[in-house]
Chains A and B, each alone.
Chain A
Amino acid sequence: MLEILTEVTWSPYVAGAGIGILSWLAFLLSDKPIGCSTSYFRTFGLFRKCFKGECDEKNPYYLKFAPKIDWQWMLVAGIVIGAFISSMLSGVFEIIWVPDMFAQKFGDDPLLRLIIAIIGGVLMGFGARWAGGCTSGHGISGTTQLSVTSIVTAACMFAGAIGTALIIYGVL
């Protein structure tokens, strides 16, 4: 039984089924769909609040998603911990600055990777809020509920991502 926990990789079908069961539990125990991108905005709001002080909030988006720690924020914090535990148990935890495929294509300069990662992150965070969710919110939870909006959004996300990846890696 314990050997399972130290295995480096699980079949995506096993892990996927686990996530499916997790979504039942999220609906049952927390009345929430699993999602991640709002938490990044709440964190941004928390930092902003530190600098901005206590003046009146005029931007409706900060009223809609108040800067506070909620269920979903804890979910994202939990992901960091869960991935840490998993990688420690299987002995694959390692401080890495540049992923292999990136290094093969663009060299192993950490600064270049960092700049590209920030640019990608900004676009993705911006797009996630524009689309009202991310790969987990729309792709997993929304599709699970057979939501029309989520299915269209997830299809556009993957279309954009596949097209961009093919261009970046020069396959097209």
Chain B
Amino acid sequence: MLTTLHKNRSAQLAIGLLMGIVFGFLIQKAGVTNYDVIIRQLLLQDFTVVKLIATAVLVGMPGVYILKHYGYAKLHIARGSLGTAVVGGLIFGVGFAVLGLCPGTVAGAVGQGYMDALFGGFIGIMLGTGLFAMLYPKISGGVLKCKMIQYDTIPDMLGIKPSYIIVISLILGAGFLYLLEYLGL
């Protein structure tokens, strides 16, 4: 592991910015920083967003697990509960459809000139996170801890080696993307 690099704060800020620039460039080129493309995905008329996310996951997964296998990376699993995943996920989803952009693509939409993303989305998301922080002390022991998810990863849960799960995921994922193309979606 590149521990020295990980601890170098100014290098990390520079790497973060650089990676953000590439990330922003890629999502803008793919068109997902556009309200219309996201809404058409949510209306199941255009599958650009799903294709982008699925490809990112299918390319990312073997690489990250190979890096982990050789000791160059460690996983960062955000443990949660059904309380966080289902309730938080659904609230997020409603906001996602109303705004028509997510926290990453809002930033991209601002970069390409969408003023509703800058003065609406950006400010709204910030206020929403602040509102959550206000509520956090009241719910941190309750609903957020309700039905904790016991396993970190799918391989842990099924007791199968990650490499098998990755191969299966790649086959299923490629099949799914092929099906989308076949159906012309």
Also in contact, A161 and B94, with CB within 8 A (given A18-B26, A85-B25, A131-B88): yes
Give the size category of A's interface with B: 35 or more
Answer yes or no: A160 CB below 8 A from chain B CBs. Answer: yes
Q: Are A146 and B112 in contact (CB under 8 A)?
A: no
Give the size category of B's interface with A: 35 or more
Q: Give how many A-B residue pairs fall within 8 Å (CB-CB).
A: 531
Q: Are A28 and B2 in contact (CB under 8 A)?
A: yes
Partner of A78, one of B21, B61, B131: B21
A72 and chain B: residue at smallest CB distance:
B16
Cβ of B123: which chain A residues have Cβ within 8 Å of it?
A: 118, 121
Cβ of B109: which chain A residues have Cβ within 8 Å of it?
A: 83
Q: Are B128 and A124 in contact (CB under 8 A)?
A: yes
Also in contact, A20 and B104, with CB within 8 A (given A34-B19, A78-B18, A82-B24): no
A-B CB contact pairs (8 Å), 17 listed = A13-B177, A21-B63, A27-B64, A27-B76, A29-B5, A61-B133, A70-B16, A78-B21, A123-B94, A123-B95, A123-B99, A125-B130, A136-B104, A146-B162, A149-B80, A157-B93, A166-B42
A contacts, CB < 8 Å to B: 7, 9-34, 36-37, 39-41, 43-45, 47-48, 59-62, 69-87, 90, 92-102, 110, 113-166, 168-169, 171
